[in-house]
Amino acid sequence: MADAYFFLFFLLPLLLLVVLYFLVKPRPVKIPIKNRHVFITGGSSGIGLSLAHRAAAEGARVSILARSLGKLEEARNAIRLVTGIEVAVFAADVRDFEAVKRAVDEAGPIDVLLLNHGVFVALELEKMELSEIKFTMDVNLMGTLNLIKAALPAMKNRKDPLPASIALVSSQAGQAGIYGYVAYSASKFGLRGLAEALQQEVIADNIHVSLIFPPDTDTPGLAEENRRKPELTKIIAASSGCMTAEKVAQKALDGIKSGSFIVSCNLEGIALSLATAGLSPQRSFLMAFVEVVAAGILRIVALGMQWTWYGSIEKYHSQRKGSTRSS
Ligand SMILES: NC(=O)C1=CN([C@@H]2O[C@H](COP(=O)(O)OP(=O)(O)OC[C@H]3O[C@@H](n4cnc5c(N)ncnc54)[C@H](OP(=O)(O)O)[C@@H]3O)[C@@H](O)[C@H]2O)C=CC1
Ligand SMILES: CCCCCCCCCCCCCCCC(=O)[C@@H](N)CO
């Protein structure tokens, strides 16, 4: 009996750890940001602004890009006030490849390309204009591809032997489809395929991809989104709470520096990432161990999550039916 326990709880896990240690690829990597060029899209507001503050405070040379020059200059002043550091600003729409290319060329070779720009409207697909749907895909997905296309040649040619990074800000709505986010989830799930494929193409150039998955985050963008958010979107998104932009920026930068492919921001996010590990690369054999051991149980947790969400959806519809009957 004691032998069986010894095998099950000691020998087997130990064997698994050893196997995973040799199995995980790409291998772990550390990406320094001090004295390196960090280029942040959407760096004038919310999470991007916090990322810019943090990167500057950690000694990086920071460039930020967004559409509104006014907001960019405000951000530059705010960062100078706190850190004494001057960030470079670039006004361009990520949908405009030529404008993006000019900005990236002017900014100079990038060591850490942080693609954080994004737009979001929470609304049922039926209520969304086709133009809004296209806008979401164009900014979140095509905008990201434009930036990568524009920046990659110089990133590959950099003289610096240190590893470089391309980090994409997705969303937990890019790990699980959420009511009200048909277009948005599509754009954010798209980033995952992009990231997985891109990592295989740029690994030989010592460029490492990170995918960041924040929950609801207190930003100007979220405040705007909340003004017309469906009740069910609020209920379902509440499963993961809300974080501050500073905290998300800290988690994101730590994840990038540690070379993690998948970067979660809170506890629910860790569970979500374990449950959706799929065929994403995992550089840490310890995290791979947790993924393997937790897989079965997390599928049950995920099904429980769906049970709750569909329960809310059923309740919402039955209440609505009740109220239309009585009115
Ligand atoms: N806040 C949240 O709840 C969550 C956000 N996220 C993601 O995090 C990222 C940042 O979100 P958040 O900080 O809330 O957003 P904000 O709306 O606060 O800021 C968005 C930033 O992106 C810029 N931007 C928007 N559209 C374009 C464009 N077409 N071209 C260039 N820049 C553009 C904005 O500047 P300007 O308007 O001047 O162009 C601004 O700097 C997004 O990708 C979002 O999807 C993920 C999970 C949760
Ligand atoms: C298996 C374990 C599961 C654990 C719980 C999972 C909870 C998932 C909740 C998803 C919330 C999505 C918020 C999207 C925020 C966002 O992107 C918008 N604010 C637009 O910016």
Tens of each residue's pLDDT in the chain, 327 residues? 788 998 888 999 999 999 999 999 999 999 999 999 999 999 999 999 999 999 999 999 999 999 999 999 999 999 999 999 999 999 999 999 999 999 999 999 999 999 999 999 999 999 999 999 999 999 999 999 999 999 999 999 998 899 999 999 999 999 999 999 999 999 999 999 999 999 999 999 999 999 999 999 999 999 999 999 999 999 999 999 999 999 999 999 999 999 999 999 999 999 999 999 999 999 999 999 999 999 999 999 999 999 999 999 999 999 988 776 544
Closest CA to 31 of 202, 161, 170: 161
CA angle 178, 314, 312 (to 5 degrees): 55
Calculate how far, in angstroms, residue 289's C-alpha sits from the geometric centre of ligand 1. 34
Number of domains in the chain: 1
Q: Name every residue whose Cβ is closer than 8 Å to that of residue 91 and which is 6 or more positions away in sequence.
A: 65, 66, 67, 68, 69, 72, 103
User: Is 178 among the domain residues?
Assistant: yes
User: Is 323 among the domain residues?
Assistant: no
For residue 176, the ligand closest to its alpha carbon is 2
ipTM of the prediction greater than 0.95, yes or no: yes
Calculate how far, in angstroms, residue 322's C-alpha sits from the geometric centre of ligand 2. 29
The pTM assigned to this predicted structure is 0.97
Domain housing 259: 28-282
Torsion, Cα of 20, 26, 30, 32 (10° steps) = -160
Q: How far apart are the first and last CA of the chain?
A: 68
Calculate how far, in angstroms, residue 118's C-alpha sits from the geometric centre of ligand 1. 4
Ligand 2: which residue has its CA nearest to atom 17?
171
Please report, for the chain, how many H helices and E strands are present, in that order: 13, 9
Under a CB-based contact definition with an 8 Å cutoff, are residues 191 and 145 in contact? no
Q: CATH code at 250? A: 3.40.50.720
Whether the CB of 145 sits within 6 Å of ligand 2: no
User: Is 309 among the domain residues?
Assistant: no
Task: Write down the pLDDT at residue 179.
Answer: 98
User: Is 116 among the domain residues?
Assistant: yes
Whether the CB of 120 sits within 6 Å of ligand 2: yes
